[in-house]
A and B are shown apart, each in its own frame.
Chain A
Amino acid sequence: MQYQSKAAIRPLVAALVFAFASAGAVQAQDAKPAADPAVANQLDPNSSEKDAKLIDKYQAVKVEDGKYTDGDGAPTYHITNDGKKFDWYAYSGYRRYHAECHVCHGPDAMGSTYAPALKDSLKRLSYEEFVGIIAGGKQDISSSGTNVMPAFGDNKNVMCYADDLYVYLKARASGAMPRVRPGDKEDKPESAKKAEKECLGG
């Protein structure tokens, strides 16, 4: 049950952080402080999919035990070694995505004939909206048919990894991560191990 209460609280916390961070973000834009080398991304210089604006927006500003957050206080990715090394959550998100999501949303979040490309959706969706949709589901009715996404609120295989999925999809949306399986990765943080155990309930 823990994963549920966690999922419910998390967006609130995120929203609070967002309120503070957005005020600071304006200054940051003006001042452009030197990026913290500890959290700076080193992306693949040859990749052509990069969206400079989103990459800037999703740049990590803080790290706590292997978990990165961006200027909005939302979880984000961290990529180094010319795009070869990924933070644990982006890597884990890749794995979970290709188990739980790809049968509808397609490989590498590219979409399918019956579900949208999440690499595009995540250009718009906030962290709160994202968590809300995976927990509560979604229904789109149009003249050509009905698209329905199930509610995963009860599904530990999804909800326990909501942040991982979000981080991975953000990396896909900004083009920071091309259509590849993450090869090298940062070690699995202790806090991730602990959270996973608590959430899955043994």
Chain B
Amino acid sequence: MRAVHLLALGAGLVASAPAFANDDVLKRSADPAQQVLQTVDYANTRYSKLDQINASNVKQLQVAWTFSTGVLRGHEGSPLVIGNMMYVHTPFPNIVYALDLDKDGVIVWKYEPKQDPSVIPVMCCDTVNRGLAYADGAIILHQADTTVVSLDAKSGKVNWSVVNGDPKKGETNTATVLPVKDKIIVGISGGEFGVNCHVTAYDSKSGKKVWRGYSQGPDADMIMDPEKTTSLGKPVGKDSSLKTWEGDQWKTGGGCTWGWFSYDPKLDLMYYGSGNPSTWNPKQRPGDNKWSMTIWARNPDTGAAKWVYQMTPHDEWDYDGINEMILTDQKVDGKDRPLLTHFDRNGFGYTLDRATGELLVAEKFDPVVNWASKVDMDKGSKTYGRPLVQAKYSTEQNGEDTNSKGICPAALGTKDQQPAAFSPKTNLFYVPTNHVCMDYEPFRVSYTPGQPYVGATLAMYPAPNSHGGMGNFIAWDGVAGKIKWSNQEQFSVWSGALATAGDVVFYGTLEGYLKAVDSKTGKELYKFKTPSGIIGNVMTYQHKGKQFVGILSGVGGWAGIGLAAGLTDPNAGLGAVGGYAALSNYTNLGGQLTVFALPN
């Protein structure tokens, strides 16, 4: 039954895009029984066509089985399912387990890399890993120490491995990889260590490096053509990055690439975002700092940049631009357009034409966002496409050693890496968000290779004069740029959402709940408290005709710094302890996969 299903879907897709992409990945990602990419599909929709579990029966969900990963750190990403096998990854030390679903999850093989523990403290904010990818019979793991490993999916044997960076310089990895065509595309972390970050393509059969494109520096380093690469419809021109940095500062410029990748087989373009410029003290790096904080469209074969759009020129708040780029085809003003929608840390939800990079929508997806009044959408304006920064919240204008207060969102953004989902049935995006604001005081720092290079003091707290919680789970119309509905959450929603054809949207919470809500109304239909806080992404698969939903528990990551502490109440008087309970009252460390199903 499953084989027929797979063939039918595979045939449909192959017919529409014959010579592109990775046929194996395309075929399998079109089969909702399996999950071969962390992003569910190349378009990053995180939408599953499975509909056995639906809005009317989801309340009957039960725990079907569980699995302990043996690691008590922040668990991001999700397992993969290929055929009858499930592949589970862990945070550092980045163990991979292959479980046979036909045999009740028996461990067929386990791969545990030997990594120097000195990489641990170089990783900002916990030792998370956002998971594996599958292509052509291989499982691809990108370790904390930047080693990329191709493992034989059947045996766990190493096909090849290659080292992408140097942890001694602060270069590490937390992200998953993108298998596309005959290549594996990988990013790198280290924005708090002054790394000059890049995206690199390796040959998927041999691990040989094919190309590398930096986020800043000379045009050749970035694989940019001054005439052909465009930004907002115009050629970027010569030295578009170098002109926006003082002297050699681009060499420690950051612009890291620790987020998600998406790919459009028809346009043959891959998309991702670059992170914050180093340091966090904006005074120390005058200029727009291009192309940090930028949406990139590149050709996956050559790395050539087709278009770029910088969302936050000259960042003053650590609003990394690395969140996922979700590719959808929707009507705009009655015309079918290939769209890219991105929920940025800076609190704006952007919709662009992904073929040209034309900016169509830029609206706040949390009403408390205040650092900019809006993004200038007037094509005739000198500041077209730029955010109009509010002087009061500008840490650049207020200057060094001045504490700029009440900036929304906080440095962790209105949304961090936790990916949103999109349902083609409702044409809505389902977005896990943070509802947290901050005080930010930049000051002078010196650069030492391999040492943190931060340069700002932060204090974060729940958005003032709101519902008191630190998160919302929202439904967003990407064409209109409007919130459809919004569910309040006590803590930031740090889990990736999943939308399904059963009209259900799933997400996890920091207290540890797996929640199911109605895709049209947001009404809560089901919740279950797992053993630890959830920062992983919900996944679903089908085995022997039955649909399952899986989620990794294991609190940590950036969110983990609030675990012991809670955040203080900005309105409380001096000396008063914040009115917001600490997450440690709700959950504890863990490392577990919980799998749900309907009763037989």
Q: Which residues of A contact B (CB under 8 A)?
A: 44, 46-49, 83-84, 94-96, 98-100, 102-104, 106-108, 110-114, 117, 137, 139, 141, 144-150, 152, 154-158, 178-181, 183, 200-201
Contacts and interface: CB of A to CB of B under 8 A. Distances in A.
B446 A157 contact: yes
7 contacts: A98-B458, A107-B561, A114-B126, A150-B118, A154-B451, A181-B403, A181-B439
B568 A108 contact: yes
Contacts of A100: 452, 454
Contacts of B126: 112-114
Given A102-B458, A144-B71, A157-B448, 9 more contacts: A47-B575, A96-B457, A99-B280, A104-B121, A110-B566, A111-B564, A113-B73, A148-B117, A154-B448
Contacts of A96: 457
B443 interface: yes
B11 interface: no
A111 B568 CA distance: 14
Contacts of A180: 568, 574-575
B194 to A, nearest CB: 12
Given A95-B457, A113-B560, A48 B565 contact: no
A-B pairs with the 9 shortest C-beta distances?
A110-B565, A113-B560, A150-B121, A111-B564, A44-B575, A144-B72, A148-B120, A98-B457, A155-B451
Q: Is the interface of A mostly helix, strand, loop or mixed?
A: loop
A178 B452 contact: no
Interface string B576-589: 11100010000001
B73 A103 contact: no
Interface of B: 71-74, 92-93, 117-118, 120-122, 124-127, 192, 280, 403, 439, 441, 443, 445-446, 448, 450-460, 555-556, 558, 560-568, 574-578, 582, 589
B255 to A, nearest CB: 19
Contact of B565 (A95, A107, A155, A156): A107
Contacts of B192: 103
A106 B561 contact: yes
B556 A46 contact: no
A103 B121 contact: no
Contacts of B453: 157
Contact of B577 (A48, A148, A158, A183): A48
Contact of A179 (B120, B125, B445, B577): B577
Contacts of A114: 73-74, 126-127, 556, 560
A92 to B, nearest CB: 10
A99 B72 CA distance: 26
A94 B459 CA distance: 11
